[in-house]
Chain A
Amino acid sequence: MAEITTLREAVAGLIHDGDHVAFEGFTHLIPSAAAHEVIRQGRRNLTLYRMTPDLIYDQLIGMGCAAKLVFSWGGNPGVGSLHRFRDAIQKGWPAPLEIDERSHADMANSYVAGAANLPFAVMRGYAGTDLPRVNERIKFIDCPFTGERLAAMPSLRPDVAVIHAQKADRRGNVLMWGIVGVQKEAVLASRRAIVTVEEIVDDLEAPPNAVILPRWVVDAVAVVPGGAAPSYAQGYYERDNAFYQAWDPISRERESFTAWMERHVRGTADFEEYKRSLAAAARETVDA
């Protein structure tokens, strides 16, 4: 049952060293504040799941939180490479990173299978590609009815799903809209779920078919305005494209990355203070 709490308490209580954690949000509603809190609390040996590892996974990987990554596309959307992700895979810095690499269709289907409490997912895919050659979790089976050869993958069942949504009500029911990605499936496939929201309201005023996560499938709801930045929250704020571009030089070298993370994430108490820290840095740049 959802408890309305602080992000700090939610992470402290629900994410442990060694957990399998899915931070989802497909370009939209990326749970940045929650990822920062995991970094602040120094979690280690996490197996991280995410269809599109982008800035938050660059940060979690570069700060040494991850032992393994389950993913299907790793890049800085519209900009280029993720330097910390690449450094971990190519050079093992700051620690070797095991990878379990899939396609988007696989991840989406495997979350659906997890949510449906099935042992595996089945789809038409992967034939002729090299992914099954390097990932032993991808198998092929024959359809018992038609004989068609189909790809089969074990369900994704993370320990914890972490997402950001637009609203919750005072009882902890969660509402999201716009590009909703795989968040509902990730939450239902996971044992525990943390949701950060833009605001808590008396009444969600949602139409009957809205994407709602009832409070009894969520463990913690924390209000973090702006908590999806630099991604966006439809109806609240736009994607901060300039930040995605700025991330490229910040993350390119280990030293500049670490200094940035120490100052703005490890050196701040929470997301509000992080935002003030960024604003102060922007003023320094203008003054210089």
Chain B
Amino acid sequence: MPDRDYTATEMMTVAAARRLANDSVCFVGIGLPSTAANLARLIHAPDITLIYESGPIGAKPDVLPLSIGDGELASTADTVVSTPEIFRYWLQGGRITSGFLGAAQIDRYANINTTVIGPYDDPKVRLPGAGGAPEIASLAGEVLIILRQSERAFVEKLDFITSVGYGEGGDHRQRLGLPGRGPVAVITDLGVLTPDPESKEMTLTAVHPGVTEDAVRAATGWPLKVANDVAVSEPPRPQELEVLRDLLARTEKAHAGQGAA
């Protein structure tokens, strides 16, 4: 993207952060979701409650965690509970307003694969697996998904459904009895997809500045549904960029300074 003072990843992170509210109780995945959720906390959502599956509730990390259970999360949290308690009382108990997930692969109904590429019994690539994602995807009040957009990641058919978005579309979530609303947005480095109100097919409703609809189509492995009126994302504001870059610089410095192999 010429003449811009920010990267596509920064745009994606800022666009995702803006979707979290100050009163959100957010179950945060590691990586991009954690970056965006903490950016929201440092900018417009100082009272947001961040919950990590390792047990910290109300984590306020000064530097981003490298792992899901870094000490920084525990020492800045309002409380730290056991892993069974996190999943049983807080997630299954219906306390989470937003689940924030990444993905290796996604389909048009925002179902997610983080398990295998190829057949399960003879995988071409064995991915890490489910972790907390299946229950976050089914139980959180709503779900945000953040990942980079490419034909390899946005596929016509998933080899494995690890976590359910809208299943086969339409009212499939209701028929499955899933308590949460499901994915309300897929935020990528190219734009934002939101579900069609009826079919639940993920539809391109916003592109980031300088990105064409054709570029998004080319990075999607199925014939992408595009809204009639596609918005253009507001570029990152100077404050958003400054806070994000400070956060990442602090994080890099802190992790580089730890230990030695």
Contacts and interface: CB of A to CB of B under 8 A. Distances in A.
A178 B74 contact: yes
B248 to A, nearest CB: 14
Interface in A73-100: 73-75, 77-78, 81, 85-86, 89-90
A6 interface: no
A243 B261 contact: yes
A228 B38 CA distance: 28
B138 to A, nearest CB: 7
Contacts of A27: 54, 67-70
Interface in A42-93: 51-52, 71-75, 77-78, 81, 85-86, 89-90
B259 A77 contact: no
A236 to B, nearest CB: 10
Interface string B214-258: 000000000000000000000000000000000000000001101
Nearest to B134: A103
A214 interface: no
Nearest to A86: B126
A238 B123 contact: no
Given A104-B130, A242-B258, A127 B88 contact: no
A179 B178 contact: no
Interface string A250-288: 000000000000000000000000000010001000000
Interface in A96-147: 101-105, 108-109, 111-112, 123-131, 134
B145 to A, nearest CB: 15
A267 B82 CA distance: 37
A105 B55 contact: no
Contacts of A105: 87-88, 91-92, 132, 134-135
A226 B82 CA distance: 23
Interface in A212-256: 230, 232, 234, 238-246
Contacts of B130: 72-73, 101-104, 129, 131
B6 interface: no
Given A108-B83, A111-B84, A75 B128 contact: yes
B101 to A, nearest CB: 13
Interface stretch (A7-15, A162-170, A180-188, A193-201): A180-188
Given A73-B131, A104-B131, A128-B178, 14 more contacts: A26-B54, A28-B54, A108-B87, A112-B84, A127-B164, A127-B177, A128-B138, A128-B173, A131-B115, A179-B74, A181-B55, A182-B83, A242-B260, A245-B261
17 contacts: A28-B71, A74-B126, A74-B128, A74-B129, A103-B135, A104-B132, A105-B92, A109-B87, A125-B139, A130-B161, A131-B134, A180-B55, A234-B75, A238-B258, A240-B259, A242-B260, A244-B66
Shortest Cβ-Cβ A-B pairs, 3 listed: A27-B69, A240-B259, A246-B261
Interface of B: 30, 53-56, 65-71, 73-75, 80, 82-84, 86-88, 91-92, 115, 120-121, 123-126, 128-135, 138-139, 160-164, 167, 172-173, 176-179, 255-256, 258-261
